[in-house]
Amino acid sequence: MSTTEFDLESKRLHIKEPETRFDRQGDLTDDERVTKAMAHFAKNFGTTAAAYLDACVHCGMCAEACHYYVATGDPKYTPIWKLEPFKQAYKREAGPLAPLFRMLGLKKKVTIEQLEEWQHLLYDSCTVCGRCSLICPMGIDIAALIGMARHGMFKAGLIPHELHAVAERAHVDGSPLGVTPKSFEDRVEWMGDEHDVKMNIDQDQADVLAVMSSIEIQKYPEAMAATAKILNAMGESWTFRTDGFEATNFGMMSGNTDWQKETSMRIIDAAIKVGAKMVLLPECGHAYMALRWMGANIYGKPLPFKVQHVSEYLADALNSGKLKVKNVDKSVAFHDPCQVSRRGGATQAPRDILKHLGVDHREMENGGDYNWCCGGGGGVVTINRANELRYKVFELKMEQVEATEADALLSSCANCRQTFDDGQEHFDWKYTAESLLELVAENLEEDDA
Amino acid sequence: MKDILTLGEILQARGVSRRGFLKYCSATASLLALPPALVPQIANALEQARRPSVIWLSFQECTGCTESLTRSSSPTVEGLIFDSISLDYHHTLQAAAGEAAEAARHAAMEENKGNYLVLVDGSIPLGNPGYSTIAGMSNLDMLMETVEGAAAVVAIGSCAAFGGIPGANPNPTGAVSVRDLVKDKPVINVPGCPPIPMVITGVLAQFLTFGQLPELDRHGRPMAFFGQTIHDRCYRRPFYEQGKFAETFDDEGARKGWCLFKLGCKGPITYNACATMKWNDGTSFPIEAGHPCLGCSEPGFWDKGGFYNAVSTGDVGSGKAFAGAAVAGVAMGAAAAAMARARQKKTMKEA
Amino acid sequence: MDLLEFARGPALQVALYIFIAGSLWRVFGVLMLQRKPDHSEARKSGGMGGALKVIYTRAFTAPAFKKATIYPKVLGYALHVGFFAVVFLFIPHVVFFKGLFGVSWPGLPNNVIYFIGVITVGLGIAILIRRLTNPVLKLISNFDDYFSWFVTLLPLVTGLIIPIRFGIRYETLLAIHILSIALLLIWFPFGKLAHTYFVFISRGTTGATLERRGAKT
Amino acid sequence: MSNIDPVSSPIPYTRGNIEPILHEVIHALDRLLETDEPTVIDLASLPFAPGELDQLEEYLGTGELTAELNALGRSRIRETIYPGVWWLEHRNTEGDIVGRYIEITRAPAILMSQDADIGAGRALLGDKLENADPGNDNGADNEPRPN
């Protein structure tokens, strides 16, 4: 798949590094990989995916919505092109004309080379941000299809190593970053002491089950304190649970539906066990997609509790007057996590919160639902070989933020924040993405609490 | 050709002046749709032309073509031409009957062997020779016997030219056209139901004037008369372009003389001279009288759907067939989906 | 049977049957695949409303994407409008549809239609040039794209030739025009022209999903 | 004649088919002046709406000169109000119109006496002179016409 190409631009004449690198997991033969991929692609072909794939007119407009295409100008990053093998499988396996295509030999099985080449396109260069889904004149939810295509890639053992590694770790340890029930408990206690906040853990009964992202637990532990502080101030009966603390879902991001289910079920089971009326999701984008919108479908029936992103919870609390905050005198730009805002529908919540905080909120150009992704979503931030590309698309994000000339940058997703941190370091950038939750927690009007 | 006089000699003998002859020649040029500049050549040619012998055979026909020809006011230009041809056999027009008539036909064939013209109106039944006979002779036999020594054959009217109404579906007599049978002689088709009389005489004039056959289109029709569509020469054509149509026979558009396309006018696909030559000595033609063209000079005009169906409508078949196609489509869709579901299960098992 | 008889008779009939059967095959083949209910708690009710909303709103470009897509959008829309105007407002076509459906509507003068037709063919050519030169389109285009382009433009071109004639007989040109339409009808359900149906299902599905999430549609 | 109107109301027709003919006439007049080349327009080959031909005739009007020819039926040869533009109408002996032309020329050729006719006339005159009774003055009044 990599042809010999000379890099004439460089000072020293040398053979161009092949652009696509791919990883393999397991020791399946090529044929087995193809068979697995085809089967697990095909599994997704219900009416929804079929209508999407049959509606495409190859207009190419989705390219203009994709940060990878806009940043590089490389046509292979056209979102619908990333689905080419998936589409091919559809036409061969499940499309209305599939029997005809198979009979006439018009649509072949995908090849191992194709799958290998597309690993880069389905993982390294897609954050499943869903911007393309909004530009598509045919209304195709391309991002949803990418999620489906990853199912086949995972089963074929053809996903980036690092993503596989964290997903596997989440499967084995319960957390992608190696947080165990014990270490979680320790860190919760530590934060309780550190911030002098009453922490509830492993209560038998609670109205609210609070869950956290490993990224927060390991990297931004203040989020735990802030969450507790808010819930205490609200007078909620709430708890953390060591048998259901992890909000991230790397099964979903990597494309392993079994692991996705396993991860979601831990939270669902814990919530049911404590009789929770609500599961409070942390500042994490894809956790919202995984539980809020996919959770019930994994469970197979409506969930017996509400699911809220912490920004929604805060907005409700502030809007109803149950929670009061002090005025914060600075200008801020807010970065919408794709899965919460664009894909999740909670775009208004952070804006309500910012209004209550009295900050000078500078909306980014094409912010909110049309926001540029930070470039780290969909598991991309874990993939080392994707770094260079990720920095390229991050430049789009930086421009968008800089144009606001705000004092501070806020977000409500730990994964976005760590992507910002990485970009900040790489570019020696002036902005640090801060937590919206923590800003609220820091400015609570204590007398009302 | 014996002692036959030239046309010039005939006219001279009748005391027709040269001016009169020139006037006649320019009328002939006009008839043949030749440019007026050719009048001197026509005059030259006609002066030298000799009376040809003509045998007219009538088969499965309604005599409308003969009526058309004879009802043109006489003596006219056409009359002059008929004066200058020798109509040796026409069983409707000739005085002789029975054996005498047949004898006249045989005599004409003998005397003018290789030079006479055969004019045919009516189609020829192949189903059963008894369907149409003359003097006990089947139409087929008479036609084949007569054309044997002919210089050319002119099929007059749509029946002779294309089978016409006798040949219309289901064609009970097995009627065929002259061209279907006569392969080794030139056959000129002068279709129409009936043809414009001036077109009939025009074809004869052409033969008379230049002694050769006119240029024909793919249906064997002289280009001079059948080179353009009624639609292209129709005075109502501007209404077509403007999108002004009569929707019914008694609406505003019909009263205003708008285009009859929507009422089924076959003008766009009909090649004939009606729109310019018109009928009844240039009085009018069907469209001018407010009726759409039936397309009578086209092959199979009787079977081309309804006279009042617009040219652009298609024969889209029956509702049943549509329903059948719809049911088949849904069934195939359901089958394809069922196959896809089964295959999803199967491949998952294999994987 | 001459060419015109064949074209407007059996050819058009068979093409219409294939068109109808093929369209239903394609649509039902998709609709009857597995469908999973969405159990998530809707933020907003009225998925059907969302579906209808997006079927309408996705006809327009969000301001964020306007600049980047204005050229292909204008081209695309103009092609559709031109094509529909020629197909449905040319009076001989209106008469054809009246014969088919029994209902009639006003049309436009021929010269207006010829003008629109020429413009539409021009747009079609511009669209093809874009497909052949734009790197994204070049990459993602396949046989379907080019063939669908061809069969769509063909009836326009064969139709526009009729008044010009080029010395060819009217009925021959009309027959060719009808045959080109038959080709379009036959290809229609099997290629990407079927987006005519799927655009509604696709937009509707996305609209219903995003609406119940309360997300931007 | 096309004065039989198929529809009762007068035709509110434009100059539809007339205008192009008038343009052709103007071009023909230019040609006549520049190169002396005459033009004949055969009206039988052109499509006319009911009444249009009459409109055209009326439009061209009647000029200074009108001649009547009596040969194989009557013909009227009339200069229109536009000098050099002639309206010719040939009828047969039955009085039916057999040809209608607009000629753009100094004088239509049909007006010229033809050599053959001149010869025949000359012969007739010669015969007459030879056989004439010199005392009879009325002979000229009874002279038969060539046809």
B343 to chain A, any CB pair closer than 8 A? The answer is yes
Among candidate residues A267, A301, A316, the one where a domain is terminated: A316
Residue at token pair 């005519």 = C196
Q: Compute the nearest-CA separation of C131 from chain A (Å).
A: 9
pLDDT tens sequence across D66-76: 999 988 788 99
Cα B236 to Cα B290, C167, D50: the distances in Å are: 11, 22, 10
Quick one: chain B helix, strand, coil %, rounded to 5?
45, 15, 40
Minimal-distance CA residue of chain C relative to B263: C95
> Do B260 and B168 share a domain, yes or no?
no
Cα B224 to Cα B27, B117, B199, B202: the distances in Å are: 15, 20, 9, 9
Pairing of strands B124-125, B175-176: antiparallel
> Do D38 and D93 share a domain, yes or no?
yes
> Do B125 and B238 share a domain, yes or no?
no
Among candidate residues A159, A188, A205, the one where a domain is terminated: A159
B315 to chain C, any CB pair closer than 8 A? The answer is yes
* ipTM score over 0.95, yes or no: no
Q: CA-CA distance, B149 to B170, in Å (whole number)?
A: 34
Q: Which of C120, C110, C112, C121 is nearest to C81 (CA)?
A: C120
C30 to chain A, any CB pair closer than 8 A? The answer is yes
Nearest CB partner across the interface for B18, out of D4, D101, D116? D116
Residue C194 domain-assigned? yes
> Do B115 and B152 share a domain, yes or no?
yes
Residue range(s) defining the domain that contains residue D79: 18-111
> Do D120 and D51 share a domain, yes or no?
no
Greater confidence (B254 vs A4) lies with B254
Q: CA-CA distance, A226 to A241, in Å (whole number)?
A: 17
Residue A228 structure tokens = 């507790």
Please state the pTM of the whole predicted model.
0.83
Residue D83 domain-assigned? yes
> Do D107 and D117 share a domain, yes or no?
no
SS3 at position D91: strand
Helix C195-213 crosses helix A47-55 at what angle (to 10 degrees)?
130
Residue C131: which CATH number? 1.20.950
Sorted by sequence, the CB contacts under 8 Å of residue A316 that are 6+ apart come out as A308
C170 to chain B, any CB pair closer than 8 A? The answer is yes
> Do B170 and B214 share a domain, yes or no?
yes
Residue C202 domain-assigned? yes
> Do D69 and D141 share a domain, yes or no?
no
* Chain D residues closer than 8 Å to B256 by CB: 9, 12
A96 to chain C, any CB pair closer than 8 A? The answer is yes
**Is the pLDDT confidence value at B81 over 80?**
no
The full length of chain B comes to 351
How many B×D Cβ pairs under 8 Å? 124
Q: CA-CA distance, D51 to D49, in Å (whole number)?
A: 6
| Cβ–Cβ gap B313/C17 under 8 Å | no
Cα C84 to Cα A330, C77, C146, C155, D58: the distances in Å are: 55, 11, 20, 12, 47
C21 to chain B, any CB pair closer than 8 A? The answer is yes
Q: CA-CA distance, C24 to C17, in Å (whole number)?
A: 11
> Do D100 and D78 share a domain, yes or no?
yes
Residue D55 domain-assigned? yes
Phi, psi for residue C140 in degrees, rounded to 5: -90, -5
Residue range(s) defining the domain that contains residue C163: 3-26+45-213
> Do B188 and B287 share a domain, yes or no?
no
Residue B226 structure tokens = 């059948």
Residue A439 structure tokens = 């800003």
Are A409 and A433 a contacting pair, CB within 8 Å?
Answer: yes
Residue B30 domain-assigned? no
Residue B273 domain-assigned? yes
A36 to chain B, any CB pair closer than 8 A? The answer is yes
| Cβ–Cβ gap A94/B344 under 8 Å | yes
> Do D135 and D145 share a domain, yes or no?
yes
Residue C36 domain-assigned? no
Mean pLDDT score, B195-211:
80
Residue D137 domain-assigned? yes
Residue A8 domain-assigned? no
Residue A233 domain-assigned? yes
Residue B71 domain-assigned? yes
Sorted by sequence, the CB contacts under 8 Å of residue D59 that are 6+ apart come out as D18, D22
> Do D33 and D73 share a domain, yes or no?
yes
Q: Compute the nearest-CA separation of A443 from chain B (Å).
A: 54
Split into its structural domains, chain D has a count of 2
Residue B58 domain-assigned? yes
Q: Compute the nearest-CA separation of A39 from chain B (Å).
A: 5
**Is the pLDDT confidence value at B50 over 80?**
no
Interface partners of chain C (CB pairs < 8 Å, 3 or more) are: A, B
Split into its structural domains, chain A has a count of 3
Q: Which of A359, A342, A356, A447 is nearest to A408 (CA)?
A: A359
Residue D8 domain-assigned? no
> Do D60 and D107 share a domain, yes or no?
yes
> Do B181 and B262 share a domain, yes or no?
no
Residue range(s) defining the domain that contains residue B277: 230-303
C27 to chain B, any CB pair closer than 8 A? The answer is yes
Q: What is the pLDDT of residue C96?
A: 87
Q: Which of A277, A281, A245, A280 is nearest to A263 (CA)?
A: A245
Q: Running DSSP on this structure, what letter comes out for residue A121? A: I
When scoring C25, C39, C134 by the number of chain A Cβ atoms within 10 A, the one with the most, hence best to mutate, is C39
Q: Running DSSP on this structure, what letter comes out for residue A325? A: B
Q: Compute the nearest-CA separation of A104 from chain B (Å).
A: 15
Residue B317 domain-assigned? no
Residue D94: which CATH number? 3.30.1370.140
Residue D11 domain-assigned? no
Q: What is the pLDDT of residue C199?
A: 95
C93 to chain A, any CB pair closer than 8 A? The answer is no
Residue D99 domain-assigned? yes
Q: CA-CA distance, A60 to A51, in Å (whole number)?
A: 18
Residue range(s) defining the domain that contains residue A360: 322-448
C70 to chain B, any CB pair closer than 8 A? The answer is no
Q: CA-CA distance, C124 to C75, in Å (whole number)?
A: 8
Residue C138 domain-assigned? yes
Q: What is the pLDDT of residue B178?
A: 96
Q: CA-CA distance, B300 to C3, in Å (whole number)?
A: 13
SS3 at position A119: helix
> Do A304 and A336 share a domain, yes or no?
no
Q: What is the pLDDT of residue D2?
A: 40
Q: CA-CA distance, C188 to C150, in Å (whole number)?
A: 12
**Is the pLDDT confidence value at B74 over 60?**
no
Cα B77 to Cα A74, B155, C3, D70: the distances in Å are: 81, 21, 39, 16
A28 to chain C, any CB pair closer than 8 A? The answer is no
Q: What is the pLDDT of residue C101?
A: 84
Q: Running DSSP on this structure, what letter comes out for residue D140? A: G
List per-residue pLDDT tens for chain A, 449 residues long. Answer: 444 566 666 666 666 655 557 889 989 999 999 999 999 999 999 999 999 999 999 999 999 999 999 999 999 999 999 999 999 999 999 999 999 898 898 888 899 999 999 999 999 999 999 999 999 999 999 999 999 999 999 999 999 999 999 999 999 988 998 899 999 999 999 999 999 999 999 999 999 999 999 999 999 999 999 999 999 999 999 999 999 999 999 999 999 999 999 999 999 999 999 999 999 999 999 999 999 999 999 999 999 999 999 999 999 999 999 999 999 999 999 999 999 999 999 999 999 999 999 999 999 999 999 999 999 999 999 999 999 999 999 999 999 999 999 999 999 999 999 999 999 999 999 999 999 999 999 999 875 44
> Do D78 and D140 share a domain, yes or no?
no
> Do A113 and A230 share a domain, yes or no?
no
Burial of C61-85, coded b for 16+ CB within 10 Å and e otherwise, reads: bbebbeebbeebbebbebbeebbeb
Q: Which of C162, C92, C176, C170 is nearest to B269 (CA)?
A: C170
Split into its structural domains, chain C has a count of 1
> Do B82 and B148 share a domain, yes or no?
yes
Residue B196 domain-assigned? yes
Residue at token pair 């279709």 = B191
Which amino acid would we find at residue B179?
R
pLDDT tens sequence across A333-361: 999 999 999 999 999 999 999 999 999 99
Q: Compute the nearest-CA separation of C83 from chain B (Å).
A: 18
Are A432 and A420 a contacting pair, CB within 8 Å?
Answer: yes
Q: CA-CA distance, C187 to C147, in Å (whole number)?
A: 9
Q: CA-CA distance, C132 to C148, in Å (whole number)?
A: 14
Helix A84-93 crosses helix A30-42 at what angle (to 10 degrees)?
70
| Cβ–Cβ gap A75/C76 under 8 Å | no
Q: CA-CA distance, B143 to B137, in Å (whole number)?
A: 10
Winning range, highest mean pLDDT, from B6-10, B124-128, D43-47:
B124-128
Q: What is the pLDDT of residue A430?
A: 93
> Do B149 and B251 share a domain, yes or no?
no
**From the CA atom positions of chain B, what is the Rg in Å?**
26
Sorted by sequence, the CB contacts under 8 Å of residue A197 that are 6+ apart come out as A191, A225, A228, A229, A232
Q: Is the dihedral of CA B117, B123, B128, B130 positive or negative?
A: negative
Interface partners of chain B (CB pairs < 8 Å, 3 or more) are: A, C, D
Q: What is the pLDDT of residue D134?
A: 62
Residue A3 domain-assigned? no
Residue C164 domain-assigned? yes
Q: Compute the nearest-CA separation of C160 from chain A (Å).
A: 26
What is the share, in percent, of chain B residues with pLDDT greater than 90? 38
Q: Is the dihedral of CA A408, A409, A413, A417 positive or negative?
A: negative
> Do D47 and D72 share a domain, yes or no?
yes
Q: CA-CA distance, B69 to B58, in Å (whole number)?
A: 14
**Is the pLDDT confidence value at B14 over 80?**
no
Split into its structural domains, chain B has a count of 2
Residue at token pair 């006496």 = D113
pLDDT tens sequence across B112-154: 898 888 999 999 999 888 899 988 899 999 999 999 999 999 9
Q: What is the pLDDT of residue D5?
A: 39
Q: CA-CA distance, A105 to D6, in Å (whole number)?
A: 66
> Do A328 and A309 share a domain, yes or no?
no
Interface partners of chain D (CB pairs < 8 Å, 3 or more) are: B
Greater confidence (D147 vs C108) lies with C108
Q: What is the pLDDT of residue B78?
A: 53
Are A343 and A147 a contacting pair, CB within 8 Å?
Answer: no
Quick one: chain D helix, strand, coil %, rounded to 5?
40, 20, 40
Chains C and B touching, counted as 3 or more CB pairs less than 8 Å apart: yes
Q: Compute the nearest-CA separation of B330 from chain C (Å).
A: 5
B329 to chain C, any CB pair closer than 8 A? The answer is yes
D115 to chain B, any CB pair closer than 8 A? The answer is yes
- H or E element that contains A231: helix A222-233
> Do A186 and A308 share a domain, yes or no?
yes
Which residues of chain C register pLDDT less than 50?
A: none
Residue A12 domain-assigned? no
Residue A10 domain-assigned? no
| Cβ–Cβ gap B262/C91 under 8 Å | yes
Strand order in the sheet with A208-210: A238-239, A208-210, A278-281, A306-309
> Do B66 and B210 share a domain, yes or no?
yes
> Do D85 and D142 share a domain, yes or no?
no
Q: Compute the nearest-CA separation of A261 from chain C (Å).
A: 15
Phi, psi for residue A293 in degrees, rounded to 5: -105, -25
> Do D86 and D126 share a domain, yes or no?
no
Residue A5 domain-assigned? no
Q: CA-CA distance, A20 to A120, in Å (whole number)?
A: 6
Q: What is the pLDDT of residue D10?
A: 39
Q: What is the pLDDT of residue A306?
A: 95
